[in-house]
Amino acid sequence: MSIFKENFLWGGAVAAHQLEGGWQDGGKGVSVADVMTVGAHGTPRRITNGVLEGENYPNHDAIDFYGRYKEDVKLFAELGLKCFRTSIAWTRIFPNGDETEPNEAGLQFYDDLFNECLKYGIEPVITLSHFEMPYHLVTEYGGWRNRKMIDFFAHFAEVCFTRYKDKVKYWMTFNEINNQANYQEDFAPFTNSGLKFEANDNREKIMYQAAHYELVASAKAIEIGHKINPDFEIGCMIAMVPIYSYSCSPSDMMAATVAMQRRYWFTDVHCKGRYPSYMKTYFDRKQFDLDITAADEVQLTKGTVDYIGFSYYMSFAVKDHDKGPAYDYDEAHDLVENPYVKASDWGWQIDPTGLRYAMNWFNDRYELPLFIVENGFGAIDEIADDGEIHDEYRIDYLREHIEAMQEAVIYDGIDLMGYTPWGFIDLVSAGTGEMKKRYGFIYVDKDNEGAGTLDRSKKDSFHWFQKVIASNGDVL
């Protein structure tokens, strides 16, 4: 008998804006991803004021999954996927975000895509908002700093739940909602919440307000979803980067504890339907005076999640930096290198044991089923003389993480639903907008400048993962 359950959801994960392209097709509106230029490791993507002439916006065309999804899904079936995690581009359904009536062409595209998946027995796993809110909601309303977003999102969710209620069972509300804990940089607040800041803005306060509205919107959507189809399984999606104590000094340990609270309180609200005490005292101490109403607090209790979806790529480490008893965490400055682990070319610290640690951390607190909806290794792939890509570094990374999952099931009793490696078909990097940071088992011929045939081909990891799925993880 395998270590993983019989119906284990082996799959692959992507997000609409990172692979679809067709940014103006079928009546699609402009999303926040459409106004982000290409960057690189150490060079942030720029957020432009709308779409400007002469800039390189890699998400506009991406890998043209919009035009090629039929052939691509056929390849996914050959890989043996049991499920396919993608997102619905909000701007295909509501181009501006504030319309009452949805755009039929957009709805039809996802009907066709889901039908194509189901034809091969591939179950769609759908994120409602994955770094791609309508740009109009940013310019007209200030993004999620505005309470009106709650109803726009709930309406979008309701339309999707209703339309796909017999095709999609597994849902997630907001992708990596807690990335914005890194509010000091521009990327996460913009991609998570459509937030752009002025020089004098209190970024941290605005981030907490936006996150609150999102959590209320998530709870509202979950409540609606369960009414539309009681069999729906609706989860949250947390970017799990465990923050270790740099040393066993008690004050480093406290710094790590507080850092974990600042990055993961979102999970408490999603799972328990209420704010943890440490956040309430923090908001009071900082005099943030957030708009959190009694009705919001009731709503939060009515839309708790069915499972915890999370991404896992790496771990962090933190020192106390002599901050005194508050240990206030500043993600942009407080992290230190971990001497026990190696890092990828993009500086991501590779740590398979951290995945087991993370699963235990979630399980200790919430005792909910866990779904690893992203994990993977972004690397530069070279085509060898034989014309193939021998990506044993990627296979090694994934094998070690799957072994950590097995240990978590065997030794820690973790209830693990499935595993969907990130970017199993090469796509546009979220963080840098590059093509050359590849995660795929399927190679896509396209470079950072946008040149290439877009042809798909199989890397060594494709054949490896095929066997992993076929053996339910017994053959690694």
User: Which residues are catalytic, by number?
Assistant: 374
Residue choice 16, 409, 430, 442 for contact with ligand P53 (CB under 6 A): 430
Q: Which is nearer to ligand P53, 275 or 313 (CB)?
A: 313
The nearer residue to ligand P53, 431 or 440, going by C-beta atoms, is: 431
| 378 sits near ligand P53 (criterion: CB under 6 A) | yes
**Binding flag, residue 175, ligand P53 (CB under 6 A):** yes
Query: Could you say which of 31, 311, 338, 363 contacts ligand P53 (CB under 6 A)?
Result: 311
Q: How far is the CB of 328 from ligand P53 (least distance, A)?
A: 21
Interaction between residue 437 and ligand P53 (CB under 6 A): yes
* Residue 127 makes contact with ligand P53 by CB under 6 A: no
Backbone angles phi, psi at 439, to 5 degrees: -120, -5
Q: Is 422 in the site for ligand P53 (CB under 6 A)?
A: yes
Contacts of 428 (CB under 8 A, 6+ apart): 17, 18, 19, 58, 59, 62, 63, 434, 435
User: At its nearest, how many Å lie between ligand P53 and the CB of residue 338?
Assistant: 16
Which range in 60-68, 112-120, 362-370, 428-436 contacts ligand P53 by CB under 6 A? 428-436
Residue count, binding to ligand P53 (CB under 6 A): 17
Q: Is 192 in the site for ligand P53 (CB under 6 A)?
A: no
Instruction: Give, as ranges, the residues between 235 and 274 that touch ligand P53 (CB under 6 A).
Output: 239
Position 377 contacts ligand P53 (CB under 6 A): no
| Shortest distance, position 465 Cβ to ligand P53, whole Å | 18
How many other C-beta atoms can be found within 10 angstroms of the C-beta atom of residue 339? 7
Residues of this chain that bind ligand P53 (CB under 6 A): 15, 18, 131, 175-176, 179, 239, 311, 313, 374, 378, 422, 429-432, 437
